[in-house]
Structure 1
């Protein structure tokens, strides 16, 4: 599938991939999109860099089990909360 060009409120024309368009539509539909709702962190980062979404990033510590005697370990996991930047779309 080809990239789609979108003209923003400030006059910039940006190309979005089909995955990025689906992400923008999902965020617009939900109002707020949380991590693990089908949109990758990489897609959110690109949309944030373009100024299309406002994102709050947070690091959570998640406990995971590793085989040896059921020893529990913690590892960091990056989560996000994304909202549409309405000024970027001229709304």
Structure 2
């Protein structure tokens, strides 16, 4: 492996860890299951959007995800559409 692929592997591992270690269990399941299934296939833009979303409060993300509160424009990304479309309940 070269240094670039090593850095990418470490980044993916960190994202997966952060996805599974949230504050509320619902977000662990949404983010964690998505990360387990799709993280390796995301492009740079999606990975960056995921990292930004992981910095948000769980209660806010959950409200956006469920459609209880309008999704802020800065998070209205192709990544969020992929996350919302992912069949978490079927895993």
TM tier, smaller: 0.3 to 0.5
Taking structure 2 as the reference length, the TM-score comes to: 0.33
Q: Which has the higher helix share?
A: 2
Q: Which has the higher strand share?
A: 1
Taking structure 1 as the reference length, the TM-score comes to: 0.33
